[in-house]
Structure 1
Amino acid sequence: MKKLLVAAAALSCVPGIAFAQDEQSAGNLFDGARIEARLGYETPTVSGDGDIYKIGSAVSYGAEIGFDLAVSNKVTVGPFVNYEFSGVELCDGPDCLKVKGNLAAGGRVGVELSPTTALYGKLGYASLTIEASSGAVAASDSKGGVYGALGVEIAVTKNAYINVEGAYADFGDFYGTGFNLQRRQASVGFGFRF
């Protein structure tokens, strides 16, 4: 009889345990590996002498991969890397300056604001590839710098999400001119977690 009571008590706990696990997994929509398509609008600039000069503004598009690990019920941390192609171009006759692409990699910290919404920040390294051309002659180079971003992510299903993000990168001195090179960007993303 004693064994029967113990077995009945143990079985009565199973639904509660299963429910708690379901609640935990449902409440943690921001954890795991992810892949994301990105579409943005960017403005690379140079600044100095108290002025800011636009190289141009254009659409950027690309992708990001990352992994977010839940370190508490509401906080995730993890690495990310993204690459975006750029349409920025500044020409004066046959002489053109083009931004070919942007690479960013670093760490991301997210804080859950609600069961389906999180605020996140990124900090890391950025590399901007620039091509200068004059007629048929062209040369390209990459500048490295510091990258930061803030965004809001919204889970639309258990595995799919959308986000809105603002990013800034500073690449330091623009090839010895005394002007600093920066990149400002606003973007939206659509991704999946696995």
Structure 2
Amino acid sequence: MKYIISMAALLAATATPAYAQDLSGFRAEVRGGWEQLGTTAHLPNPDYDPEDEESGPEILKATDKDGSISYGAEIGYDYQLEGGMVLGGYIGADFSDGRTCAELVGDDLGCSKLKRSFNIGARAGLPLSDKSMIYVKGGYSHGKISNFYDPDLTDNDEEEPGDTYGFSKNRGGFHAGGGVEFGLNQGVYGKLEYAYTKYGSASQRIGAGDEDPMLKMRSDRHQVLAGIGMRF
């Protein structure tokens, strides 16, 4: 986040000479790179006793992170103001195979897998030349995340294993980031970008009764991407 704040301050504080309107217009791009998916799971401690310090915390917490490949595409429109600053909007989609798993109570396992994320947002850029700029971006993200929980791994080889719980949740959230975009040829540009996305939490009751514990899972991700696009 310090990187994003620093770039935003630079955009606001730096005086920019007027450039030709080469950064205005519609654009389309493809990109790919590395991402780190992180998941934090919370579950009430079945052994918790407020009078017994050795029973552990009231809420159990486990975290896992996993790196994977991310790829996607984006379309948008930019408009360069007379003073040089560029303002724009975009929509995009990203896909990945990132998966995280963590143990909460012992011999259990909770996993999350990010399938895809749709993004819509706005960006502001500071030109470096008539074909290049640095920018910050931010907006809304909508991710499809598949979750799985097995309360007891030790019974999986038995004739009648215990219940497992699988649930896919579409989660809204936000993303923020920044990067540099540089002209390569007539209408063609390359880019390097960092983005952070935080998704909302998903909940699932572990059991059929109203008194059974509720499992909560939260996910976020960091992305470092390279892309190539075209302006129209």
For Structure 1 versus Structure 2, the TM-score category normalised by the shorter chain is 0.7 to 0.9
Q: Which amino acid aligns with 2:74?
A: E
Deviations 1:125-165 (A, max 9, x none): 01221113579985421111111110100011230000000
Q: Which has the higher strand share?
A: 1
Q: Which amino acid aligns with 1:168?
A: Y
Regions of 4+ moved over 4 Å: 91-96, 133-138, 176-180
CA–CA separation in structure 2 for the residues paired with 1:47 and 1:87: 18
Partner of 2:129: 114
Deviation at 1:97, TM superposition (A): 2.9
Tell me: CA distance 1:174–1:95, structure 2 relative to 1, closer, same or farther (3 Å). closer
Partner of 1:11: none
* Correspondence 1:82-93 to 2 at 5 A: 82-90=92-100
Contiguous gaps of at least 5 residues in structure 1: 1-23
Deviations 1:73-106 (A, max 9, x none): 4211121011011111246899753210111111
Contiguous gaps of at least 5 residues in structure 2: 1-17, 42-58, 103-107, 151-163, 204-213
CA–CA separation in structure 2 for the residues paired with 1:138 and 1:38: 31
* Correspondence 1:125-136 to 2 at 5 A: 125-133=140-148
| 3-state DSSP of counterpart to 1:114 | coil
CA–CA separation in structure 2 for the residues paired with 1:137 and 1:129: 17
TM-score w.r.t. the length of structure 1 is 0.74
CA–CA separation in structure 1 for the residues paired with 2:231 and 2:193: 18
Q: Which amino acid aligns with 1:147?
A: H
Q: Which amino acid aligns with 1:78?
A: G
Give yes or no for the alignment of 1:76 onto 2:104: no
2:220 to 182, 186, 192: 182
2:71 to 57, 61, 66: 61
Partner of 2:230: 192
Tell me: CA distance 1:133–1:174, structure 2 relative to 1, closer, same or farther (3 Å). closer
Give yes or no for the alignment of 1:100 onto 2:115: yes
Give yes or no for the alignment of 1:38 onto 2:31: yes
Give yes or no for the alignment of 1:146 onto 2:174: yes
Deviation at 1:114, TM superposition (A): 2.2
| 3-state DSSP of counterpart to 2:189 | strand
CA–CA separation in structure 2 for the residues paired with 1:134 and 1:53: 14
Root-mean-square deviation (Å): 3.2
Partner of 1:9: none
* Length, aligned pairs only: 169
Q: Which amino acid aligns with 1:112?
A: P
Give yes or no for the alignment of 1:171 onto 2:181: no
| 3-state DSSP of counterpart to 1:156 | strand
| 3-state DSSP of counterpart to 2:66 | coil
CA–CA separation in structure 2 for the residues paired with 1:149 and 1:166: 5
Q: Percent identity?
A: 28
Deviations 1:43-85 (A, max 9, x none): 1213599x99334211011100000011224211121011011
Tell me: CA distance 1:132–1:179, structure 2 relative to 1, closer, same or farther (3 Å). closer
